[in-house]
């Protein structure tokens, strides 16, 4: 397994509508393993394939890592989609590995059911609440080219993006 480089906003790959995976090849399985390793290396709770420059509908998540402080059981999801969501929205302060140092308060359903294909090719469903529900929605957003600042009003988005661009320029100086 290897750690892959993360792509940052404004890389165009992050804005693509990702392709459906039609066949589970060894390349796909290797990519999923590498995504898990990259997620742990970056101390993230989720990662989507476009963040490592692959515009395919693949995500990995492990929220136990954050809750317990050590890696739990990573979930690898192929072609995930939200098939049910609660009417009740809650706000979470979210970050993203492709947006270093940015935090955005995002209101999302607090529970969802996600259907996906597992690595064995079988269709599966997860009913998720709390942090896992938020994480799954955040990662599925990536597959549709959606980033957390898209949820902000134009005014707030400008402020957050100006600060981000400034930080990224400084990071580039070092």
List the Cα angle 73/79/84 in 5-degree steps: 85
* Closer by beta carbon to Ni ion, 96 or else 112: 96
Q: Does residue 92 interact with Ni ion by CB under 5 A? A: no
Q: At residue 22, what are phi and psi to the nearest 5 degrees? A: -100, -20
Q: How far is CA 7 from the centre of its chain?
A: 12
The single residue of 37, 67, 94, 139 carrying the catalytic annotation is 139
Nearer to Ni ion by Cβ, of 121 and 130: the residue is 130
CA distances from 5 to 2, 44, 88, 98 (A): 10, 14, 36, 10
Interatomic CA distance for residues 159 and 171, integer angstroms: 18
Tell me if 80 sits within 8 A of 57, measured CB to CB: yes
User: Binding to Ni ion by residue 114, rule CB under 5 A?
Assistant: no
CB of 68 to Ni ion, least distance (A): 21
- Considering the rule CB under 5 A, would residue 28 count as an interface residue with Ni ion? no
- Region binding Ni ion by CB under 5 A among candidate stretches 11-19, 78-86, 89-97, 112-120: 89-97
Q: Would you call 125 a catalytic residue per the annotation? A: no
Q: How far out from the chain centre does Cα 62 lie?
A: 11
* 61 alpha-carbon distance from chain centroid: 8
CA pair distance 146, 44, nearest whole angstrom: 18
Query: Judged by CB, which is closer to Ni ion: 26, or 94?
Result: 94
Give the binding range for Ni ion (CB under 5 A) out of 34-42, 71-79, 88-96, 105-113: 88-96
Q: Which is nearer to Ni ion, 28 or 96 (CB)?
A: 96
Q: Which of 96, 104, 114, 143 contacts Ni ion by CB under 5 A?
A: 96
Residue whose Cβ sits closest to Ni ion: 96
135 binds Ni ion (CB under 5 A): no
Residues annotated as catalytic (active site), given as ranges:
139
Which residues make up the interface to Ni ion (CB under 5 A)? 96
């Amino acid at each position: 397994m290897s750690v892959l480089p993360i792509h940052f906003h404004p890389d165009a790959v992050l804005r693509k509508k990702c392709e459906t995976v039609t066949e589970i090849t060894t390349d796909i399985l290797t990519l999923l393993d590498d995504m898990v390793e990259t997620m742990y290396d970056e101390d993230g709770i989720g990662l989507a394939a476009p963040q490592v420059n692959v515009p395919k509908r693949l995500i990995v998540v492990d929220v136990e890592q954050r809750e317990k402080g050590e890696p739990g059981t990573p979930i690898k999801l192929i072609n995930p989609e939200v098939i049910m969501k609660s009417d009740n929205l809650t706000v979470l302060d979210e970050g993203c590995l492709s947006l270093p140092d940015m935090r955005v308060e995002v209101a999302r359903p607090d529970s969802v059911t996600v259907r996906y294909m597992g690595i064995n090719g079988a269709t599966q469903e997860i009913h998720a609440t709390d942090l896992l529900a938020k994480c799954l929605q955040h990662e599925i957003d990536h597959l549709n080219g959606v980033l957390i600042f898209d949820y902000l009003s134009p005014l707030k988005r400008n402020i957050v993006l100006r600060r981000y661009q400034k930080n990224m320029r400084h990071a580039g100086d070092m």
